[in-house]
């Protein structure tokens, strides 16, 4: 359909979608469409798309925050794993020392008899 036959509200919607495809952000044409033609079905579609884009942006912020938390948690987990490894090594050393002390105690008791 030639542009001159296309209703103005529909043209604004199409221009807005084209702008969105290029810029990837909420087009100004949608605001103009909703102001000039509030009862247009194209305005309702533009409003629905706008609401979806806002929801996507909010969710992306949440995801970004969660990824930051995940990174911090991963670092903390790594630190804790290193601490566990150190404690396990210390425990093994203490077990060896305890065994040596038991043997020394046994040896001392046998000498004392």
CA distances from 50 to 29, 31, 85, 88, 93 (A): 11, 9, 52, 56, 64
- For residue 74, with 0-12 CB atoms within 10 Å meaning exposed, 13-18 middle and 19 or more buried, which class applies? exposed
Residue 86: which domain range?
3-112
pLDDT of 4 reads 73
| Span 91-102, average pLDDT | 97
pLDDT of 5 reads 78
User: Average per-residue pLDDT in the chain?
Assistant: 93
Q: What pTM, to 2 d.p., does this model score?
A: 0.63
Question: What are the tens digits of pLDDT across the range 1-50?
Answer: 666 778 999 999 999 999 999 998 888 999 999 999 999 999 999 999 99
pLDDT of 99 reads 97
Of 50, 61, 58, the C-alpha closest to 25 is: 50
For the chain, the domain total comes to 1
Q: Provide the percentage of residues in the chain whose pLDDT is more than 90.
A: 85
């Amino acid at each position: 359909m030639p542009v001159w036959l296309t209703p103005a509200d529909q043209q604004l919607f199409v221009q807005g979608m084209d702008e969105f495809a290029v810029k990837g952000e909420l087009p100004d044409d949608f605001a103009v469409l909703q102001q000039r033609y509030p009862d247009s079905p194209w305005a309702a579609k533009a409003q629905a798309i706008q609401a979806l884009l806002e929801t996507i942006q909010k969710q992306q912020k949440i995801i970004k925050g969660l990824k930051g938390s995940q990174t911090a948690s991963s670092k903390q987990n790594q630190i804790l794993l290193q601490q566990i490894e150190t404690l396990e090594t210390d425990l093994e050393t203490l077990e060896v020392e305890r065994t040596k002390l038991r043997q020394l105690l046994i040896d001392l008791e046998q000498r004392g008899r």
